[in-house]
Chain A
Amino acid sequence: GAVVSQHPSRVICKSGTSVKIECRSLDFQATTMFWYRQFPKQSLMLMATSNEGSKATYEQGVEKDKFLINHASLTLSTLTVTSAHPEDSSFYICSATIDSATNEKLFFGSGTQLSVL
């Protein structure tokens, strides 16, 4: 299957700082990338959908000024958590697809565990 690389896998930061998470599709061009958040023992929750070259579409309740998403190329999307606070501590996962019409071509990154002190 296709490979989606997510970096870093784990980050610890102080409250008030910003953290950038990268999501790369290594062997395919991703027309659409998705960002999810997963709290312990809870399901993945879709945060936003990003299409290359256009603004991300955020789900209800997700602050777009806090979670900045940039999808500047067909192989790279970034999520920046601005002014992080302890309640932002979570597991963040990206996924990428070359065809948003089917789930068979949707591939997930390995996730980033964010801990805000």
Chain B
Amino acid sequence: QKEVEQDPGPLSVPEGAIVSLNCTYSNSAFQYFMWYRQYSRKGPELLMYTYSSGNKEDGRFTAQVDKSSKYISLFIRDSQPSDSATYLCAMSAQGAQKLVFGQGTRLTINP
């Protein structure tokens, strides 16, 4: 079993829709949870960073962590074509050390 599971998609939604991206994990030692956006053949860009259960909001993005269920989500409201990218969840037990990434979900927002 992989430490982090993420549905690779692809996921295609119309512009303006609410997008929900999810990851599950098995290692209860993970304390830091991140969402990255990666455009084709580019390095990941940090979108959201959380270290506790609950919700964190930043503009159109909301990150949700449920440690009891070992489940994290990223919600994108009012999705835009420019949001089309691969979204990677990542987590670690120790800060920036040993980040474990999900497989990435390829998202397309259709105009």
Chain A residues with CB under 8 A of B90: 44, 103
Q: What 0/1 pattern do residues 78 to 113 of A give for CB contact below 8 A with B?
A: 000000000000010101010111111111111101
Task: Find out whether the CB atom of B96 lies under 8 angstroms from the CB atom of A44.
Answer: no
Contacting A103 at CB < 8 Å: which of B4, B43, B49? B49
Q: Which of A4, A6, A93 has the most CB of B within 10 A?
A: A93
- In this complex, how many residues of chain A approach chain B with their Cβ under 8 Å: the count is 31
Contacting A32 at CB < 8 Å: which of B4, B41, B46, B96? B96
Task: Find out whether the CB atom of A41 lies under 8 angstroms from the CB atom of B103.
Answer: yes
Interface residues in B52-111 by Cβ distance below 8 A to A read: 88, 90, 92, 94-104
Contacting B46 at CB < 8 Å: which of A45, A91, A106? A106
Contacting B41 at CB < 8 Å: which of A91, A101, A105, A108? A91
Task: Find out whether the CB atom of B46 lies under 8 angstroms from the CB atom of A46.
Answer: no
CA distance A19 to B102 in the complex (A): 28
Contact A100/B41 with A43-B104, A44-B88 known, Cβ cut-off 8 Å: no
Chain A residues with CB under 8 A of B45: 108
Q: Which of B49, B97, B99, B101 has the most CB of A within 10 A?
A: B97
Contacting A110 at CB < 8 Å: which of B42, B95, B104? B42
CA distance A97 to B34 in the complex (A): 15
Chain B residues with CB under 8 A of A6: 43
Q: What 0/1 pattern do residues 1 to 21 of B give for CB contact below 8 A with A?
A: 000101010000000000000
B90 to chain A, nearest CB (A): 8
Q: What 0/1 pattern do residues 1 to 31 of A give for CB contact below 8 A with B?
A: 1001010010000000000000000000000
Does A54 have its Cβ within 8 Å of any Cβ on chain B?
no
Contacting B8 at CB < 8 Å: which of A41, A49, A103, A104? A41
Chain B residues with CB under 8 A of A4: 43
Chain B residues with CB under 8 A of A106: 46, 96, 99
Chain A residues with CB under 8 A of B94: 101
On A, residues with C-beta under 8 Å from B are 1, 4, 6, 9, 32, 34, 41-46, 49, 91, 93, 95, 97, 99-111, 113
